[in-house]
Amino acid sequence: MTTVGLADIEAARARIRGLIRQTPVEASPSLSDVTGVPVWLKFEHHQITGAFKLRGASNAVAQLTEAARARGVVCASTGNHGRALAHAARVAGVRAVVCMSSLVPSNKLRAIEALGAEIRIIGRSQDEAQVEVDRLVREEGLEMIPPFDDARIVAGQGTLGLEMVEAVPDLACALVPLSGGGLIAGIAAALKARKPDIRVVGISMARGAAMAESLKAGHPVQVEELPSLADSLGGGVGLENRWTYPMVRDLVDEVVLLSEPEIAAGIRHCYMEERQVVEGAAAVGVAALLAGKLRPEGPTLALLSGANIDMNLHLRIVSGEDVDLMAEAA
Ligand SMILES: *Cc1c(COP(=O)(O)O)cnc(C)c1O
């Protein structure tokens, strides 16, 4: 098996039922006005732990062998995947270790600790944290659960695609945030199996869009990681990428890139018009519509993928401040 298909996604759905929320799909009158087509929003930012990553993590944890369950799981993600894995492991009664560098802000560290994971602080970079992950796999037999490039993760995220077409049977176009591609690979596999001519659009920030650069190059490439309002879309696709790069290449119709002010406008619109608090990565579908970066034809659904934004940053953005994280980091 070299790809994730509908049967894998349906199996994942049965496996994670009861462990995740089936999130609502709501009409957006304001975006329908702007675009002239019916626009729907899927409120996946209401998922447990605040992001869709619980779907993939729960599907992976549910498939551990007895021996692996007894030893535990490990990852190096300090963002939404780390939170999801910590939660999924705790619910399953499995030990979870999250490795991170000493540069990770203490609020992120405490959030993951509060979900029941053990924290290992190692070195001063994500690469050094990954060295500790590899050691724990080798020496203590923990199982690494990666954030996107894993068939169990892709199948879990793909359950969103099934919920989308069931909520909007005449769906023509799906707008999906894109980073490592686990999310869009699973969704595209589900959607295209059910409705082959559905258009699937991936959306990334223009700053450090690793998958977009890889598609252009024809193979996975490394990009410089820069501060962005869509922080959950940062990071590479992995030079040894096995699952998501080929799936995105074969199944995704188009990739759209957004500037920081465009992403800010998406966050602002979600708050002021839809009354929803979403993080930058989750606002990109809405932002692409507002920026006129794609011409939707037919019923269109934007996936709001997560809510985990620093609330002080959110307040500044929705108050209309012109936030430039690059200048602030310099
Ligand atoms: C991880 C994440 C994404 C991107 O998912 P990939 O599978 O890496 O493409 C988008 N939005 C949010 C909120 C995320 O946490």
Which of 88, 73, 69, 94 is CA-nearest to residue 137? 73
Q: By C-alpha distance, which of 79, 86, 78, 57 is closest to 155?
A: 57
The verdict on the CB of residue 234 being under 6 Å from ligand 1 is: no
Decide whether any atom of ligand 1 lies within 6 Å of the 282 Cβ. Answer: yes
Cα–ligand 1 centroid distance for 178 (angstroms): 6
Indicate if the alpha-carbon torsion angle 55, 60, 66, 67 is positive or negative.
negative
| pLDDT tens-digit map of 127-175 | 888 899 999 999 999 999 999 999 999 999 999 999 999 999 999 999 9
Helix/strand/coil (H, E, C) string of 35-84? HCCCEEEEEHHHCHHHECHHHHHHHHHHCCCHHHHHHCEEECCCCHHHHH
- Between the CA of 177 and the centroid of ligand 1 the distance, in Å, is 6
- pTM passes above 0.95: yes
Q: Which of 232, 247, 277, 309 to mutate to test the pocket of ligand 1 (most atoms within 8 A of CB)?
A: 232
Mutation choice for ligand 1 from 23, 179, 263, 276, CB with most ligand atoms inside 8 A: 179
Nearest alpha carbon, ligand 1 atom 13: 306
- Beta bridge partner(s), residue 17: 20
pLDDT at 258: 98
Tens digit of each residue's pLDDT, the chain (330 residues)? 579 999 999 999 999 999 999 999 999 999 999 999 999 999 999 999 999 999 999 999 999 999 999 999 999 988 999 999 999 999 999 999 999 888 888 888 888 999 999 999 998 888 888 899 999 999 999 999 999 999 999 999 999 999 999 999 999 999 999 999 999 999 999 999 999 999 999 999 998 899 999 999 999 999 988 899 999 999 899 999 999 999 999 999 999 999 999 999 999 999 999 999 999 999 999 999 999 999 999 999 999 999 999 999 999 999 999 998 988 887
Question: Does residue 183 have its Cβ closer than 6 Å to ligand 1?
Answer: yes
> In one letter, which amino acid is 217?
A
What is the position in ligand 1's atom list of the atom closest to the CA of 148?
A: 7
From the CA of 211, give the closest atom in ligand 1. Answer: 9
| Ligand 1 binding pocket includes 83 (Cβ within 6 Å) | no
> Is there an atom of ligand 1 within 6 Å of 279 CB?
yes
Cβ partners under 8 Å of residue 86, min gap 6: 96, 98, 112, 115, 116, 117
3-state helix, strand, coil in the chain (%, to 5): 50, 15, 35
Ligand 1 atom 8, closest CA:
180
- Centroid of ligand 1 to alpha carbon of 147 (angstroms): 9
Farthest CA pair distance, the chain: 58
